Every structure is written in C-alpha cells, then in structure tokens.
Structure 1
C-alpha cells in the first residue's frame, strides 16, 4: 500500500505498519459488472458534459437569461462539467483495470480536484437555497447579477482553500489499491482526522442543515400564504355577492389563482436538493467510516462499497441537466434551438400563457372581473 501524504516515514510506520493488511485482501466486482459500470459511467460523462455545456451556452449566448439565479445555475453546471472531464474518466478506467495507472502525484491532484468541484457545486446550491429563503420567507430580493458574480468568485476561492490541503499532503490519501479513485484512508493521526472531519462537515453536514432549514421554512410560508389567499378570496367574493343583492347562488364563484408560479422555481431547487442529499449522504458516511473504522477500511467488501458509492456521487452531475430539461420551459426551448432543423420533427405550437401571481399580492373579486 502506498501513502500519498508527507508524514515522516518513522511516524507513519509507527502508527500504521501494524494496521496494513495485504493489498489482495479485498473482494473485487465481477468482470461483467465492472464493464457495465464503466460503460454507464462513460454515458454519464457524455450526458453530464453535453447537458451542462448547454446550460452554460444558454446563459452565455442569451443576455436575457443572465439573471442572478441563471448565473448560479450556469456555475453549478460548469463545476459538473469539470468533474465529468477531470475525475470521472480516470475512475472509469480504474474500474475496468482494477489498478491505478496514473501515478501517486496525480492521485493527490485527482483527489483535490474531486473535492474542489464537488464543494463548489454544493456552495452554489447553498447560495440558491438561501436566496429562495430570503425571497419567499423574508420578502427580501437582495441577489442581483453583480452580487451573484461576487458570490460565485468567493465560492470558488473558498472551495479551493478547503480542498487544496489534500494535494500537499495534509491528509492521508491512498493510491487506489482498495478503491477505484483516491479516497480518504484510515489513519490515527489527529491532524488527518481533523481535516477529514472538517472537509466532510463543510461539504455535506453544514450545507445540508442550512438547506433543510431553509426549505422547511419556505414550505411552511407557502402553505400559510395559500390558506390566507384562499380564505381572503372567499370572504371578499361573498361580500361582493351580498352587495349585489343576490340571494340564490347557483355555483360559487372561484378565482383561478395560478399558485404554481410562486412555487415552481422553488420546487425545482428542492428537487436538486433532494438529488444532492441522496447522492452524497452515502459518500459522506462512507468517508467517515473509512477514516475512523479500521475494520471497515481493511474489510474485504471495501472495494465494492467504494465503487458503488463513488458511482452514486458522480450521478449528481447527470442529474442536474435532466431536472432542468424536465422543469424549466426556457431550458427546453433553448435546447431545441441548438438542434439542427432536420431533427425538429414537429412545428412549434404556441402555448397558452398564464398570468403570473406574486406571492405577496392579495387578489380580490370585483363586480366585473378579478383585480389586483
């Protein structure tokens, strides 16, 4: 086993020699399954690169799309592109060959890039979540395109500072003989364990807690506003009916209030949050157990577990553009614009436009029509 940290040899031997087991003491995936996972990962690379590249091109080529939220989504897409290009291909090769053929130095670099791009994506999701919280719960729309660019620059700098220690040997990162990618290895050094905990807390636990609190507050606010608008509308409509002297009401007049406008964008971000949680919770638990549990790290099933967990963490790069295409109409239309005309089988039919309803607006019934 080769270690990729700068711990003095004497200290490393004293603390870790008795813990090293033979490198062959692990179960590998069957060859057909390895090939299948590698093929799926290659498809993930293609979909992740193309889908996220379209997001970036849309924001770059269309000035009308350069809002604060779209700049953040484009940055999230760019981090996923970098993850697809600089990390996933080497993992796919290692899954097939079961050997790391890229050297110890690149092991450090690939581990650093992995945490760097993942942390940047998490930071962008956190910024978006706080922005949605301020808009819907606090009624404060403070994020404009200029501030979004400043936040993006800060997030890149912060992500680099947090992930950089792994490339200079401030933590124990192992050349993959027990995993298809450089991962945090088991160590008893307090500094290594402290950095591993700090890294995982920064990447998952703190963002997850803040985003969960934000979304719970948003859901509660949307629910209360929906009930308030519904009750207010019924009361006002009944008062208007009594003023007109109508005694018999064949069918109660109902306002067609489109509540989807104020919740659809939030729902899209909520789906991204759920995808982030499902893809990254297993990897976070896996990393903690790798650092602190000798029995788990040197167990025969560690390679299989690490392969599945890493594959799941990469799935998030493909997940985001699929959600954009499903949930965002402008993104679907822009994707169609990038297709050659020969691929457009059906003519574009104009759809119905819906009136937008602002979350803080109370809608009342007048005698002739609904008015704001």
Structure 2
C-alpha cells in the first residue's frame, strides 16, 4: 500500500508541476514573438500570392508551386498561430475539445501540403539538373497541387477522431500532442511523422545530394573543356579561341535558383525536426509525457514549426530579385530605398545549361 501511495503521489506531483503555467514575462515575450511571426508570415506570403495572381507572366510551374506553399503558410498564420498565442498567454485552453481536434486537423493539413509542395519542387529540380528533363508545365503543376491537397486532407482527417483532450483537470493547459496506448493511434502517429517529415526528408536529401554532385561534375567539365583549348593554342602559336561567357552566366543563374530551394529545404528541416521528434516521444513514452519538461518543450517545438511561415518570405526577399521589386510596389514612394546599379541576366530554359559533353560546353 505504501508503494502504491508513493506512486500515486509521484504521478500527481508530476501532473501538478507540468500544469504550472509559464512565467508571465516569458508568456508575454512568446506572445510578442508570435505576433511578429504572424505578421511577417501573413504579409510576406500574401505578397507572393498577389504577384502570381496579378501577373500572368509569373504563372510558371515553379511560381504556382511557390504560391501554393505561401498559401499554406497564410492559412497557418490565420487559423493556428493565433489560437496557440492565446492559449500560451491565458495559460489554459479555452476553445473546447471539438475545436482542439479541428485545429489539429487544420495544422496537419497545411503542414502536409507545404511538405508536399517542397517535395514536388525538389523532384522537379532533380529531374532538371540530374536527368536533364524539364517536364513540369503549369498544367501539370496544377494537377499535382490538386492531388497533393486531396492526399493531405485524407492524411489529416483522422486526427479529428483522436483522444486528444485539451486542458483536462490537473493536466497540461493546451491542445498538445499526448501519450497514446492503442496500436491504431500509435500507427497513425508514426504515419503522420513519416508523411510530414521522415519520408520527404529522405527523398529531398537524396535529391539534393545528387543535384550537388551533378552541378560539381558539370562545372569541372566546363573548366576542363576550356583548359585543353588554351594549351593547344600555346603549342601551335595560334591565338586562343575566345571563351564563351554563356556557360558561367547560366551556371551562376541556375545555381542561385537551386541554392534558394536548398535554403528552403534546410529551413524546413530545422523547423520541423524538433516537433516530429517530440511527437514521437510523447506518443510512445509515458514517462516523458508526464515529465515537467514536456509542456515547455511542446510549446517551443510547435512555435519553431510555425517559424517556417515567416522564414520563407525572408528567403524570397533575400534571394529573388523579382520578389523584392514586387514588394517595392506595395511600399509608398517616399519610403523606398534607392536601387543599386546591377547587371541583368537573360533567363534560359532550366535544363539547358546542365547538358555538357566533351565537344560542347553550352546549349
């Protein structure tokens, strides 16, 4: 009996400690950070959608995918982030269990759709650079977007039938991931983790490693093609043939475009990895779920996954010149910064510069 009493007391103590709200100063700071993330995520991604919607010339396949990715981040900023901010500030879930399940379903819907779009972009870059096949047209992009929304909805819908109960007596104040004992619920947790992070992460990592290897090989071929011609000219006394500037220009342009997608992938990995690991630990480890460190870790991991919504527009503004120019159109004239002189570069077909043989270095 004494052992049972000690065990019950120990569990009650853990629950009481876990349900202790965060300090007021920390809650205010987290709320301020969340307001910044919501503002940047909503406005930045709204600009992306407006650019693609208003300008017909911008409705290419890759831009349609990026606009869909921006739309998912806007939905996260509108339907999920404010609820989380209110819960952290109030220290309790005040929206009812049904809305908790709906919020969970919307969160996974938008996260899965965003991951699917990143996966489609990565496969498209792989086909262009490694396989030298530019097959993604705007029509095919629309079909893939529709299919990805349908698949994401089918994967996210079962989350509304889970046993997630927010704000239960003596428990954590929030709609967070929880410990599950039934085999179907554990299987669904693993399925969500695999679909939202593990499988896309593996596929995108493989694609980007192959892409980096292909870019390195083609850059070496371009250099090796120019060096023998210069050496032959020195031996024969003839003037060296003029080196065409096109390979370096095109390689630089496409490498920069690929680098932008790679940065988006790295940002997605850094933001979503903690939430995925925490969800798996909470579902399979009751001890971790009842520990006093779980709720702060769950809040931090959830907000880090939200950070991706504000991360993407910053990368667009940093890496994409047309996005910066479009952003300037929404800024009053007296607030615009002076433009620095720069040299424009001609756009080329995405797969043209990756074809390089021993007899030719540019297509």
Using the size of structure 2 for normalisation, the TM-score is 0.88
Residue in 2 that maps onto 1:359: 353
Structure 2 CA distance for aligned equivalents of residues 183 and 83 of structure 1: 16
Structure 2 CA distance for aligned equivalents of residues 180 and 328 of structure 1: 42
2:332 is the counterpart of 1:344: no
Structure 2 CA distance for aligned equivalents of residues 32 and 303 of structure 1: 17
Residue in 2 that maps onto 1:24: 16
Structure 2 CA distance for aligned equivalents of residues 193 and 371 of structure 1: 53
In the TM superposition, residue 342 of structure 1 has moved relative to its aligned partner by: 2.4
2:333 is the counterpart of 1:333: no
Residue in 2 that maps onto 1:208: 201
Residue in 1 that maps onto 2:119: 126
CA 301–321 in structure 1, closer or farther in 2 if over 3 Å, else same: same
2:308 is the counterpart of 1:316: yes
Structure 1 CA distance for aligned equivalents of residues 300 and 362 of structure 2: 56
Structure 1 CA distance for aligned equivalents of residues 9 and 163 of structure 2: 16
2:163 is the counterpart of 1:172: yes
Question: Equivalent residues in 2 for 1:78-89 (5 A)?
Answer: 78-89=71-82
Structure 2 CA distance for aligned equivalents of residues 201 and 59 of structure 1: 31
Retained in 2: the 8 A contact 1:48–1:84?
A: yes
In the TM superposition, residue 104 of structure 1 has moved relative to its aligned partner by: 0.9
In the TM superposition, residue 339 of structure 1 has moved relative to its aligned partner by: 1.5
Can you give the 5+ residue segments of structure 2 that lack an aligned partner in the other structure? 1-7
Larger mean Cα displacement after TM superposition, 21-30 or 38-47? 21-30
2:269 is the counterpart of 1:277: yes
**Aligned counterpart in structure 2 of residue 266 of structure 1, from 240, 258, 263:** 258
Larger mean Cα displacement after TM superposition, 42-51 or 350-359? 350-359
Retained in 2: the 8 A contact 1:272–1:323?
A: yes
Aligned residues between the structures: 346
CA 31–112 in structure 1, closer or farther in 2 if over 3 Å, else same: same
Structure 2 CA distance for aligned equivalents of residues 320 and 180 of structure 1: 30
Structure 1 CA distance for aligned equivalents of residues 315 and 225 of structure 2: 35
Retained in 2: the 8 A contact 1:240–1:365?
A: no
Structure 2 CA distance for aligned equivalents of residues 87 and 371 of structure 1: 48
**Aligned counterpart in structure 2 of residue 192 of structure 1, from 185, 189, 197:** 185
**Aligned counterpart in structure 2 of residue 53 of structure 1, from 46, 71, 79:** 46
Instruction: Give me the CA root mean square deviation.
Output: 2.7
Structure 2 CA distance for aligned equivalents of residues 231 and 179 of structure 1: 63
Retained in 1: the 8 A contact 2:97–2:166?
A: yes
Secondary structure, counterpart of 2:16 in structure 1: coil
Secondary structure, counterpart of 2:292 in structure 1: coil
Retained in 1: the 8 A contact 2:353–2:362?
A: no
Can you give the 5+ residue segments of structure 1 that lack an aligned partner in the other structure? 1-16
In the TM superposition, residue 47 of structure 1 has moved relative to its aligned partner by: 0.7
Retained in 1: the 8 A contact 2:132–2:355?
A: no
Larger mean Cα displacement after TM superposition, 54-63 or 179-188? 179-188
CA 21–70 in structure 1, closer or farther in 2 if over 3 Å, else same: farther
